Chain A
Amino acid sequence: MSQPLMVSATIPGPSPAMASRWQYLDNVRRHTGPFTDPDMFDTSEAAVAQIEKMKILVIGAGGLGCEILKNLALSGFKQIHVIDMDTIDVSNLNRQFLFRQSDVGKSKAECAAKFVEKRVKGVSITPHNCKIQDKDEDFYMQFTLVICGLDSIEARRWINSTLVDLVDEENQDSLKPLIDGGTEGFKGQSRVIYPTITSCIECQLDMHAPRAAVPLCTLATIPRQPEHCIEWAHIMAWEQEKPFPKLDNDDPEHITWLYKKALARAQEFNIPGVTYSLTQGVVKNIIPAIASTNAIIAASCCNEAFKIATNTNPSLGAQENYMMYSGNDSIYTYTFKHEKKDDCPVCGNLARGLDVDPNLTLQEFIDSLAARPEAQLKKPSIRAQKTLYMQSPESLRLQTAPNLDKKIGDLVSNGDEIGVTDPSLGRVDFKYKLRFTSDFVSKDKLTTNGDAN
């Protein structure tokens, strides 16, 4: 166990007189290292104090957010804001360590802020108990850096497009580095984005492909797995029977109703494996989450934030910008550069080619966009030379709704460019150049020239 490989000496005892609170941070803040960039790194008092003036925004006060707040407070950041609209649930307590049993039901942002402020002297944490979409550009403009610890892809896309839009070439301060973390079980990833300059969250969207949905006909007629029975109860039986006015995923009575329905259906088809826990997992789309993985990913994000803020060492960003972590089988990390895409719907401007069957209806085409890994659009609006379909305002929706039943080939021609947007994701603007995959014979033509026999 011991090896003859150490500088031999006895351990020096602690000398409290010399000790100052930020002694360990100062070892790296006040001393040049072999990898520091001499043009960027400055050991002066003013440079060291810089971090205390920076405002940093943390999005999410959940599993990652709690860790991020703790880490930033112990990295020398003094002005931290945190935004989260959620309240504390009992199932958060296995990892969201700033919360206690007695906090269940309270605002996550407020509880987390109060706890860290109390624990770490001199740090100010401002909570915002609301949605990120409730804040305007001026709010986001005040920060130097943004760190995301979210479980929602939609919220990530929104903040990403908002920060890209904020960039004004005339104003250097408008460029806010975005650091994003995510976890699932023993795995996770962290990434650093310089909006408009390096690959953004939208450029990387296909790295996080949505799980394929089970076809409705499988649920309706040929279930084979317990999940099929649960989805059937969730989507079909609930709609038909409406046992409660509105489904609340967090209401145990509602989950129990779905569980019993799913169980009965499973018994009818001899399918084993429907449990309460599985029902809850499928209905709420639960992703397993543990403290240790959150600790790894949050700390990775904060380590990059600290390096960006202090230049004490090179950070991820310009070159390598993405770290993948897996702890399932030994420990494996892969750190690489994700390239920016010219046809990114947020930070690029080129149209991308899209193969489409012109015989699909507009509705079918819209449904297919939800499943495409690079799009994942649930409520898109579509325009060609004229508007094909708008989700809102309601008047325009009604006006364009008749197009939903029309065939693509009747609305646009092969080679046309269409724009697809989804305001719930911020300014995400897909430009697609359509390539028809089969011939299209218009119904109109069919009726006029139909009698070919």
Chain B
Amino acid sequence: MTEVITDPTPPILHGPSDKEKKYDRQLRLWAASGQQALEDAHILLLNSGSGAVGVETLKNLVLPGIGQFTIADAGVVTEADLGVNFFLDEDSLGNSRAECCVKLLQELNPDVKGHWLPLQETLTVQKVLKNDAKYTLIIYTYPIEETDLDFVQEYSIKHKVPVISVHSSGFYSYFRTYLPGNFPIVDTHPDSTATTDLRLLTPWEELSKFSSELTGDIDNLSAHEHGHLPYLVILLHFLEKWKAEHRSLPSTYKEKTAFRSLVTAGARTDNPEGGEENFDEAAAAVLKTISAPTLSSSVKAVFDYEPNELEAKSNFWIIASAVKQFYEKHKQLPLPGSVPDMKAQSTVYVRLQNIYKKKARQDVAEVLSTVRAHPGGKDVDETEVESFCKNAAFIKLIHGSEANPESIKTLTKSEAENDANAEMTMMPLSLLPIYLSLHATSHMSTASSSDILATIDQVYPDASTTPRYVEISQEVARAKGGELHNISALTGGMVAQEVIKIITKQYIPIDNTCIFDGITSRTQVLRI
């Protein structure tokens, strides 16, 4: 439920600051650390085409207080802009679109600084990107000149800056994230229902002692004491009983069901309620907590990964390698240290909490000493190690994205095979044809459906004869590269979420392309 706070000093009695008041609803998601990361960031938008999706994205970043943003755009505001872009008005007609959008966006939040760069022959994308590492993240929209794409790529690699490309046209859109190198996340915010390891199968001495102290004379406990035994203690007690009888722990589903019956039978029923809530809680927790913890595939991916020389010097990989050593030695991850809420007397619950907290601190200390022994580990902050240990079961590594035209061919084929079985498997149809059709119009937004199909045929020769590809290319041609505000607003919302996740290093970003179909109202994330 609530995180255990190690510092016992009570907080100072003062209300929230003005900033905390304004950002209250988002601080509850990404906390002050995430907010600081946002405020330190500077986003560059290379805008083009009908120009709404990038500006909608920025709106969703200016409101939560991104530090700075810059719009570079060659556009001059036309009538058509006013029909799709909310951050322009009648007075904007004929003026630089970059300048007008920045001025109206900036009104949303006085804490944010906006800059504009009207692209022209004397101010090219190349010039904009020639300067030092100034931007935290770059967003560009389609259509874009191929040469400009190269400059963006060069900047991204040189300065290790993430890039998101966004394409919105008619009822379709997609966006693609390019992360410079591998992107590890510690603070993934797992779902509240995700299981935490309570080590019931391998209790340490202090926990066992505490448990037997409470249950040594279980049959003679008063009704109140019996009805307030924490379910963890109930489970530990009956596990001991089971072990004595079976000489092993319940491991198969059948054994666990039998074990659950044993627990249920332990409840006293000769009371007015006809049962005990804490025993109900214990029985309900059996299947979830009585199993040896297994490494999730994402943690395994972190352990299996061999960081390159440069990566290996980063705090994340130094701590990851120490945690891996811990795991190899103990066959389990460091204890997270939190205890779920359960029916119990306050004093008993607090003691239980402290036992878990203490053990978690011991595990952190062990990992920390491994970290300190590492040549680069002297300056690693203890709180970083603590946070890693606490979240160890949920850490995640997103691999950097490199273009690989071969993989598109493979993906196209496998998605087509899935589609052939879609009716049987009741799965929705692949959205990959939307990506390929939009992508075919990257530099030429008014391409015809046959132009689009001819381009896709280069990677998927069956496209021109597949009805779904033909239909989707027709739908793309219908929009002539023009954005629909709703689709761009929706896409801008998703892109902004991704930018926030990448900048705060919290939650889990997409890997690496998200396609949206505004006709069936579905998304699909594919690694392309």
Which A residues lie within 8 Å of B518 (CB)?
303, 313
Complex Cα spacing A252 to B18, Å = 13
Interface residues on B, range: 35 or more
Interface residues of A in 146-181 (CB under 8 A from B): none
A255 to B16, CA, bound (A): 11
- In the complex, what distance in Å separates the CA atom of A413 from the CA atom of B128? 81
Q: Is A44 an interface residue (CB 8 A)?
A: no
In the bound complex, CA of A273 to CA of B2 (Å): 7
A222 and B346 form a contact (CB under 8 A): yes
By beta carbon, the residue of chain B nearest A100 is B107
Which residues 1-58 in A have Cβ within 8 Å of B in the complex?
1-12, 14, 16, 19-25, 27-28, 31, 33-35
Per-residue contact bits, chain B 98-114, to A (CB 8 Å; 1 contact, 0 not): 00000000011110000
Known interface pairs A6-B442, A256-B15, A295-B60. Does A24 touch B511 (Cβ–Cβ under 8 Å)?
no
- A335–B149 Cα distance when bound, in Å, is 35
Bound CA–CA A301/B443 (angstroms): 31
Q: Are A226 and B2 in contact (CB under 8 A)?
A: yes
Closest partner residue, chain B, to A31 (CB atom): B478
CA–CA, A172 to B86, complex, Å?
35
B523's nearest neighbour on chain A, judged by CB, is: A333
B455 touches A335 (CB 8 A): no
Nearest residue, chain B, Cβ from A301: B486
Q: Is the CB of B428 within 8 A of A335?
A: yes
Report the minimal beta-carbon distance from A181 to chain B, rounded to whole angstroms: 11
List chain B residues, Cβ under 8 A from A453. none
Interface of chain B residues 261 through 281 with chain A (CB within 8 A): none
Write out the residue numbers on chain A whose beta carbons fall within 8 Å of the beta carbon of B27. 277
Residue in chain A with minimal CB distance to B445: A11
Whether the Cβ atoms of A28 and B79 lie closer than 8 Å is: no
Is residue B82 within 8 Å, beta carbon to beta carbon, of the partner chain? yes
- Report the Cα distance A50→B514, complex, angstroms: 34
CB of A245 within 8 Å of the partner chain: no
Which stretch (A130-138, A193-201, A285-293, A374-382) binds chain B? A285-293
Instruction: Kindly provide the distance from the CB of A217 to the nearest chain B CB, expressed in whole angstroms.
Output: 10
Our pick among A6, A273, A290, A300 for the contact of B441 (Cβ within 8 Å) is A6
Q: Which residue of A lies closest to B6 (CB)?
A: A272
A269/B479 in contact, CB under 8 A: no
Once the chains are docked, how many angstroms separate the CA of A314 from the CA of B521?
10
- Which residues from chain A contact B90 at a C-beta distance below 8 Å? 121
A6-B442, A7-B447 known; A227 and B25 CB under 8 Å? Answer: no
Q: Does A399 contact B (CB under 8 A)?
A: no
* B146–A329 CB distance below 8 A: no
Residues of B within 8 A of A16 (CB): 76, 78-79
CB distance from B484 to the nearest CB of A (A): 6
Contacting pair A119 B171 (CB below 8 A)? no
Chain A residue numbers with a CB within 8 Å of B160 are none
Please encode chain B, from 343 to 356, with 1 for each CB lying within 8 Å of some chain A CB and 0 for all others.
11111011000000
**Please, how many angstroms separate the alpha-carbon atoms of A225 and B23 in the complex?**
25
Are B83 and A22 closer than 8 Å at their CB atoms? Answer: yes
Contact present for A75 and B447 (CB under 8 Å): no
Once the chains bind, are B439 and A6 in contact (CB under 8 Å)? yes
- The one of B64, B440, B498 in contact with A7, judged by C-beta atoms closer than 8 angstroms, is B440
- Chain A neighbourhood of B502, CB < 8 A: none
- Chain A hits for B15, CB < 8 A: 252, 255-256, 276
Q: Is the CB of B403 within 8 A of A95?
A: no
Would you call B393 an interface residue if the criterion is a C-beta within 8 Å of the partner chain's C-beta atoms?
A: no
Contact of A260 among B13, B403, B442, B489 (CB under 8 A): B13
**When chains A and B are docked, how far (Å) is the Cα of A271 from the Cα of B5?**
9
In angstroms, Cα B56 to Cα A186, docked, is: 17
Report Cα–Cα, A11/B217, bound state, in Å: 83
Is A113 part of the contact surface with B, judged by Cβ < 8 Å?
Answer: no
Q: Which residues of B contact A299 (CB under 8 A)?
A: 486-487, 489-490, 493
- B302, CB-defined interface residue at 8 Å: no
A278 (CB) vs chain B CBs: closest residue = B2
Q: If A290-B25, A331-B510 touch, does A1 touch B60 (CB 8 Å cutoff)?
A: no
In the assembled complex, the Cα of A88 lies from the Cα of B455 at a distance in Å of 52
Q: Does A327 lie within 8 Å of B497, measured CB to CB?
A: yes
Contacts of B54 in A (CB 8 A): none
Which candidate, A66-74, A338-346, A404-412, A414-422, is the interface stretch facing chain B?
Answer: A66-74
Contact call A288/B26, Cβ cutoff below 8 A? yes
Our pick among A252, A273, A281 for the contact of B3 (Cβ within 8 Å) is: A273
Contact of A335 among B18, B471, B496, B522 (CB under 8 A): B522
> Are A27 and B482 neighbours in the complex by a CB distance under 8 Å?
yes
Given A21-B83, A74-B86, verify A2-B440 contact (CB < 8 Å): no
B160 to chain A, nearest CB (A): 14
B41 at the interface (CB under 8 A from A): no
Whether the pair A2, B149 counts as a contact (CB closer than 8 A) is yes
Given the contacts A1-B152, A3-B405, A295-B493, A24 and B13 also touching, CB distance less than 8 Å:
no
From A118, A269, A303, give the contact of B486 (CB < 8 A).
Answer: A303
* B228 interface residue per 8 A CB criterion: yes
Contact with A along B494-527 (1 / 0, CB 8 A): 1011101100000111110010001111110100
Q: What's the minimum C-beta distance from A76 to chain B, rounded to whole angstroms?
A: 9
- List the A side residues contacting B252 at CB < 8 Å: none
Select which of A7, A292, A302, A330 is within 8 A of B60 by beta carbon: A292
Residue A91 CB within 8 A of the other chain: yes
Assess A94 versus B63: contact at CB under 8 Å? Given A7-B440, A295-B492, A335-B428: yes
- Among A4, A120, A260, the residue within 8 A (CB) of B458 is A4
Write out the residue numbers on chain A whose beta carbons fall within 8 Å of the beta carbon of B215. none
Q: B411 at interface (Cβ–Cβ under 8 A)? A: no
Chain B proximity of A103: nearest CB distance (Å): 12
- The one of B76, B447, B493, B525 that contacts A330, using a Cβ cutoff of 8 Å: B525
Contact assessment for B350 and A20 in the assembled complex, using a CB-CB cutoff below 8 Å: no
Distance in angstroms between the alpha carbons of A269 and B347 in the assembled complex: 7
By the criterion CB–CB under 8 Å, are A314 and B84 in contact?
no
| Chain B hits for A297, CB < 8 A | 493
Distance A135 CA – B417 CA, assembled complex (angstroms): 54
Q: Are A3 and B439 in contact (CB under 8 A)?
A: yes
Q: How far is the CA of A33 from the CA of B83 in the complex (A)?
A: 21
Q: Specify which chain A residues have a CB less than 8 angstroms from the CB of B127 in the assembled complex.
A: none
Whether the Cβ atoms of B451 and A296 lie closer than 8 Å is no
Taking a contact as CB atoms closer than 8 A, the residue among A6, A224, A313 that contacts B349 in the complex is A224
Say whether A298 faces chain B, with CB atoms less than 8 Å apart: yes
Q: Check B521 against A95 for contact (C-beta < 8 Å).
A: no
* Contact present for A328 and B341 (CB under 8 Å): no
Given the contacts A11-B143, A28-B170, A291-B496, A119 and B403 also touching, CB distance less than 8 Å: no
- Complex Cα distance A272/B349, Å? 12
CB pair B443–A94 under 8 Å, yes or no, is no
- Let me know if B418 is at the binding interface, CB within 8 A: no
Of all chain B residues, the one with the shortest Cβ separation from A14 is: B78
A67-B496 Cα distance, complex, nearest whole Å: 15
B199 sits at the interface (CB 8 A): no
Which residue of the partner chain B has the closest CB to A312?
B171
Contact of B25 among A6, A75, A289, A332 (CB under 8 A): A289
With a cutoff of 8 Å between Cβ atoms, the chain A residues found around residue B489 in the complex are 67, 70-71, 295, 298-299, 302
A16-B78, A94-B25, A291-B63 known; A24 vs B83 contact (CB < 8 Å): yes
- Structural contact, B490 and A296, CB atoms closer than 8 A: yes
Interfacial residues of chain B within 415-463, with CB under 8 A of chain A in the complex = 428, 436, 439-447, 451-452, 455-456, 458-459
Say if the beta carbon of B11 comes within 8 Å of chain A.
Answer: yes
**Can you list 7 residue pairs at the A/B interface with Cβ under 8 Å?**
A1-B152, A7-B451, A27-B482, A270-B347, A276-B15, A277-B27, A313-B519
Known contacts A16-B76, A93-B63, A331-B523; 9 further A-B pairs (Cβ under 8 A): A1-B178, A7-B441, A74-B486, A185-B29, A222-B344, A280-B24, A290-B29, A290-B500, A327-B497
Enumerate chain A interface residues (CB-CB to B < 8 A): 1-12, 14, 16, 19-25, 27-28, 31, 33-35, 67, 70-71, 73-75, 90-91, 93-95, 97, 100-101, 118-121, 185-186, 190, 218, 222-227, 252, 255-256, 259-260, 263, 267, 269-273, 275-278, 280-281, 286-300, 302-304, 306-307, 313-314, 316, 320, 323, 325, 327-333, 335
- Would you list the 4 A-B pairs with minimal beta carbon distance, nearest first? A295-B493, A24-B482, A296-B493, A299-B490
